[in-house]
Amino acid sequence: MAVPDRLQRVKQWARQIKRDVVALWFAARDRRTPFSAKFVAGTVAAYALSPVDLIPDFIPILGYLDDLILVPLGILLAVRLVPPALMEEFRERAAALEGRPSSRSGLLAILSVWFVAAVIAAWLAWGFIAARP
């Protein structure tokens, strides 16, 4: 297989991932979607559409781990939970949508995790510094 063929396949896969994230965003907001599928779809879409990652990309290897493994696995799980007919409808709506929506709730969730981690780190550091004679 030639390199241009592989590159085209990777580009096609990336377009499908983007489309499915937007489709899951629709699924999470649709009343016909079962609750468990809504929960997983909403969580995956919020995380994937959030401008902030749980593990920042500048951290070597781990920074891209969520983008390369966790997000696609979450998408696969969510797609399996959404009924096929509904998922097809959501994919069509997502394909028609040119812009990519952003998730403020995803941003809030990730920033909250970072804030809690910073507070815990500060508390532990304060305890360590205060315990020194």
- For 106-132, how does the pLDDT look when each residue is reduced to its tens digit (9 = 90+)? 677 777 888 888 899 888 888 878 777
pLDDT of residue 85: 92
Q: Indicate if the pLDDT at residue 47 is higher than 90.
A: no
**What is the pLDDT averaged over residues 20-41?**
90
User: Could you give the CA distance from residue 27 to residue 114 in angstroms, rounded to a whole number?
Assistant: 27
Task: Provide the domain count of the chain.
Answer: 1
pLDDT of residue 99: 56
**What is the pLDDT averaged over residues 3-10?**
77
pTM above 0.95, yes or no: no
What DSSP string runs through 79-133? HHHS-HHHHHHHHHHHHH--SPP--HHHHHHHHHHHHHHHHHHHHHHHHHHHH--
pLDDT of residue 12: 81
Q: Indicate if the pLDDT at residue 100 is higher than 60.
A: no
pLDDT of residue 57: 73
Q: How buried is residue 42: exposed, middle or buried, by Cβ count under 10 Å (0-12/13-18/19+)?
A: buried
pLDDT of residue 103: 63
Which domain does 47 fall in, by range?
3-131
Residue in this structure with the two tokens 């902030």, named with its chain if needed: 52
Residue 34 banded pLDDT, cuts 50, 70, 90: very high
User: Could you give the CA distance from residue 48 to residue 41 in angstroms, rounded to a whole number?
Assistant: 10
